[in-house]
Amino acid sequence: MHPRYLNRYLADVGWRDPLDVPVDHPVTPSSTPNEDRAEWTDLAGLARSLDGCERCRLSEKRTTVVFGEGDSDARVMFIGEGPGAEEDRTGRPFVGQAGQLLDRMILAMGFARNETYIANVVKCRPPGNRDPKDDEIAACSGFLDRQIEFIRPDVIVALGRFAANRLTGTDKPLGALRGKWSHYKGVPLVATYHPAYLLRTPADKRKVWQDLKLVLQKMAEGSSPAIFNDEL
């Protein structure tokens, strides 16, 4: 869906942003039991509010809502597409084969996985690993936004076309988005190929490493050498 239609779509389906900001015009308050906005004051509360979520059809076939995991103060946040079979079973993002490759990418950058934050555009597994649909992405949209606001990373890495399109607000192919900086709500963002794609197309690992080096450069710019952080 083109981004300029997204707000109208969200308003039409009655989406209420977790921040309680009306999308286009005020919507009638929902009485969904798990929609207790009092809980949306931190990451854990936001995660709790997704327990038993039935905001879209993905709830019908999923086993577990995969909220995301990692350091709530992470400087870098990876955002993928949606849970696969292993993620649906365990409730953790990126733990299958693609996740193992993501772990190696993170290590190559000089981080441990638990120093980063990892989330997805949709929090429930699309059946058979099909692509998430526009209305499913829209149903999770406010939760991802709120998650990003709580983490406040220095840099976002969008993994694959769905995350890249959702966060850049374009429908351009990934090849046109990668290799350069975009922003999402003021946070610098690099889009790169999804690890699952890299498993099928290992020759493109080189391009991903170029993208991750951009991230490392940006993070180095933002931090002072240790000597300047010392309390003298």
Binding site for ligand URA (CB under 6 A): 80-84, 87, 93-94, 96, 98-99, 120, 196
d(CA 141, CA 167): 10
d(CA 230, CA 73): 20
In the complex, least distance from residue 94 CB atom to ligand URA, rounded to whole angstroms: 4
CB 219 within 8 A of CB 80: no
In the complex, least distance from residue 138 CB atom to ligand URA, rounded to whole angstroms: 17
Reduce the DSSP state of residue 118 to 3 states and report it: strand
Q: Which tokens hold the place of 224? A: 């002072």
In the complex, least distance from residue 31 CB atom to ligand URA, rounded to whole angstroms: 31
Q: Which is nearer to ligand URA, 56 or 98 (CB)?
A: 98
For residue 200, count CB atoms less than 10 angstroms from its CB and return exposed for 0-12, middle for 13-18, buried for 19 or more: exposed
Q: Which is nearer to ligand URA, 49 or 69 (CB)?
A: 69
Main-chain dihedrals φ then ψ at residue 168, nearest 5 degrees: -95, -10
DSSP state of 16: B
In the complex, least distance from residue 154 CB atom to ligand URA, rounded to whole angstroms: 22
Name the H helices within the chain. 3-12, 43-48, 85-90, 97-108, 134-151, 161-168, 174-177, 195-200, 205-222, 226-229
In the complex, least distance from residue 196 CB atom to ligand URA, rounded to whole angstroms: 6
In the complex, least distance from residue 122 CB atom to ligand URA, rounded to whole angstroms: 9
Q: Which is nearer to ligand URA, 23 or 137 (CB)?
A: 137
Q: Which is nearer to ligand URA, 98 or 219 (CB)?
A: 98
Q: Which is nearer to ligand URA, 16 or 87 (CB)?
A: 87
Q: Which is nearer to ligand URA, 23 or 121 (CB)?
A: 121
In the complex, least distance from residue 29 CB atom to ligand URA, rounded to whole angstroms: 32
Nearest residue to ligand URA, scored by beta-carbon proximity: 80
Q: Which is nearer to ligand URA, 120 or 141 (CB)?
A: 120
What DSSP string runs through 39-101?
A: GTTSHHHHHHTTTT--SSGGGGT-SS----EE-TT-SEEEEES---HHHHHHS-SS-SHHHHH
Residues sharing a CB contact under 8 Å with residue 86, sequence separation 6 or more, in sequence order: 95, 96, 99
